[in-house]
Amino acid sequence: MQAVDRKAFRAVRKTRVSEEIIEQVRDLIVSGRLQPGDRLPAERELARTFRVGRSAVREAIRAMESLGIVEARAGEGTFVATLAGSHARDPIIATLFQTWSTQRKLFEVRRVLEPGLAALAARRATAEQVEKLRGVLGEQEVQVQRGETGVKQDTMFHFLIAEATGNQVLLRIVDNLMDLLRKTRETSLQHGDRPARSLKQHRAILSAIEARDPAAAERRMREHIHAIERLVFSSEQQAIEGPATIAPTHVPGVSS
């Protein structure tokens, strides 16, 4: 196992700070200069090399962890994940490593798709499907009360809404997107009281579905997606407004 020399990295000069950090790490993996198991330089060293604030490096590492590109080991450092090399050499998967631009595109998909799914579910859900939705929210509540994120139940709730539309084409689309959409949920559910708020919003969506109110179900889902998106990218906005975290000779960037 070896630690890659920090000289392999270059100073960040793009506006989207964390995105370029991720891109550089991805490129080093693709080129083979970073191998699975290699240790990244310490956070302080990376911040000095990239000429950005440590918060930008921290957010980039957290995003790469959520994608499985790197893994943090307590007391040891941050290492390239075992599967990252093979994934990064697949050009399709490599594109997904450009985290935040992809996340934004996925939220665009969610804004277009999910409110309509909720509206259809309000029209078409059977009593059995409504009961399944209630059940998964019950499980989510247990997870949240234990201090966990409940991401599995969160994901299942959205899948069951797609199922309740009765449209197998839409269900197939959602099923194919599920792994990618889960990343946005995992990211948002790491923030403070977000799991409890997500559960509350899910209950509001389900209430509209149970009331057979398509307009309300669509509105509640749209509000839910908007709240998640705002939360996930809030740190980016903070970085733009907070130049103290970025070296003064460079344009402030997005730290998420």
- State residue 160's pLDDT score: 94
pLDDT tens, position by position, 138-162: 999 999 998 888 888 988 999 999 9
Beta bridge partners of residue 77, listed in sequence order? 73
Fill in the DSSP letter of residue 3. B
SS3 of 78, please?
strand
- Computed from CA positions of residues 175, 180, 186, 189, in that sequence, does the dihedral angle turn out positive or negative? negative
Q: In the CATH scheme, what is the code of domain 6-95? A: 1.10.10.10
- State residue 2's pLDDT score: 64
| pTM score, whole prediction | 0.56
Is domain 105-233 given the CATH code 1.20.120.530 in the classification?
yes
- State residue 90's pLDDT score: 46
Beta strands 77-80; 70-73: pairing state: antiparallel
Q: Please, are residues 159 and 132 in contact by the beta-carbon 8 Å criterion?
A: no
- Report how far residue 150's alpha carbon sits from residue 146's, in angstroms, rounded to the nearest whole number: 9
Which two three-digit tokens encode residue 107?
A: 């939220």
Beta bridge partners of residue 71, listed in sequence order? 79
- Report how far residue 65's alpha carbon sits from residue 42's, in angstroms, rounded to the nearest whole number: 15
Domain edges within the chain: 6-95, 105-233
Distance of CA 18 to the CA centre of its chain: 14
Residues of the chain with pLDDT under 50: 14-15, 84-98, 235-256
- State residue 252's pLDDT score: 33
- Computed from CA positions of residues 78, 23, 98, 33, in that sequence, does the dihedral angle turn out positive or negative? negative
